[in-house]
Structure 1
Amino acid sequence: MKVNVQTLDAQAAGELELNDDVFGLEPRADILHRVVTWQLEKRRGTARGTRERSDVARTGKKFGRQKGGGTARHGDRRAPIFIGGGKAHGARVRDFNPSLNKKVRALGLKMALSSKVKAGTLTIIDSLDVAEGKTKALVANLAKLNLTKVLFIDGDAVNISFAKASANIIGVDLLPAVGANVYDILKADSLVLTRAAVEKLEARFNG
């Protein structure tokens, strides 16, 4: 499919042919849900488990008489009330490291890109050069493009002037093409790709 390309100040900059195998798929909610769930669970760190009564190395011998000793009737030193004893109701080790096939992950990213095309919220920009890296200039450009909560994806590396100008703007995120992911794409109201980003993403799937 052909799409119009703009400059950052909303001027026409020609056309670009998008690969239908990457940007023309019909999005499926089940695939997108699987990939987003996998991505968010991968972020979670595994909790360090604590040692409970059965895990500590202390004597299990009853160290006092049951009656007549004037103290409580303890059975062993592994009890949680003693220093060095096991932790009561401690943290358990839980593994948040699910697996998902690479084909499903790739399909999810294609569908996320396609969903932005279908919704009409994908914009192709010639380049992300901002004059002198000024935030004020970028704010004016975003107003011309009618963009608020937006994700920008660049090529091999992010544009330095754009990164500097957008650092303090709430709702504007910037990623290199290698960092493109389903969660961030779906979370943003609008998606902006540079020509370099389109080339990198299409090469990523065709490679």
Structure 2
Amino acid sequence: MKIDVTTLDGKKGGSVDLDDAVFGQEPRKDILHRMVRYQLAKRQAGTHQVQERGDVSKTTKRIGNQKGGGSARHGNGSVSQFRGGAKAHGPRTRSHAHDLTKKVRKMALRHALSAKQSAGELIIVDTLSIKKAKTAMLRKQLEAMGVTNALIVGGSEVDTVFGRAARNIPNIDVLPSQGANVYDILRRHTLVLSKDAVEALQERLK
């Protein structure tokens, strides 16, 4: 399929051919959901931990008599209902990551790109480069294009000047093509790709 290319100044920049196998898929919500869960689980720190019975050092002497004390029949004081006691079955340090095959991960990225294209939320620009790292100037250019909440993906490397100008704009993320991922694509309203990014993504997802 063909899609128009624009410049950062809002002028026409020709057109580019998009591979239907990458940008023309019928988006599957189940695949996208699996991939987002995979990404979010993988980035969890997993450093939560509480003291359990084996971690608490307290006397094991009985608190009171088994009978006749007028209270419940408690053993030692390390149980969870007493101050300073341990938690039963509390969280332990662990990894939350789970497996997802490479085939499904690539499929999910294709479906995320296709979802943006089919929803009319995909913009192709000829190049992501500016002369001066002026945030206000770049923000005006993006707003003139209707881009206020977007993920911007460049080629193998993001132009240094463009990256400096864009990093202080709220709700704008900038990534190189190899950093493009399903979660960041879906969390922003618009996806902006450079022509280099289109070529790199199509080569990566063939």
Aligned to 2:127: 127
Secondary structure at the residue paired with 2:152? strand
Task: Note the residue ranges of structure 1 that are not aligned, 5 or more in a row.
Answer: 68-72
Aligned to 1:87: 86
Length, aligned pairs only: 199
Residues 125/74 of structure 1: CA separation in 2 closer, same or farther (3 Å cut): same
Secondary structure at the residue paired with 1:14? strand
Aligned to 1:161: 161
Secondary structure at the residue paired with 2:205? helix
Contact 1:50 1:90 in 2 (8 A): no
Residues 174/90 of structure 1: CA separation in 2 closer, same or farther (3 Å cut): same
In structure 2, distance between residues paired with 1:57 and 1:44: 27
Task: Note the residue ranges of structure 2 that are not aligned, 5 or more in a row.
Answer: 67-72
Contact 1:9 1:141 in 2 (8 A): yes
Aligned to 2:183: 183
**Could you tell me the TM-score, scaled by structure 2's length?**
0.83
Give the drift of 1:200: 1.2
In structure 2, distance between residues paired with 1:195 and 1:29: 27
**Could you tell me the TM-score, scaled by structure 1's length?**
0.83
Give the drift of 1:59: 8.6
Give the drift of 1:61: 6.0
Contact 2:8 2:128 in 1 (8 A): yes
Give the drift of 1:193: 0.3
Residues 49/144 of structure 1: CA separation in 2 closer, same or farther (3 Å cut): closer
Give the drift of 1:199: 1.3
Contact 2:50 2:87 in 1 (8 A): no
| One-letter amino acid of the counterpart of residue 176, structure 2 | P
Calculate the aligned-residue CA RMSD, in Å.
Answer: 2.7
Contact 1:60 1:75 in 2 (8 A): no
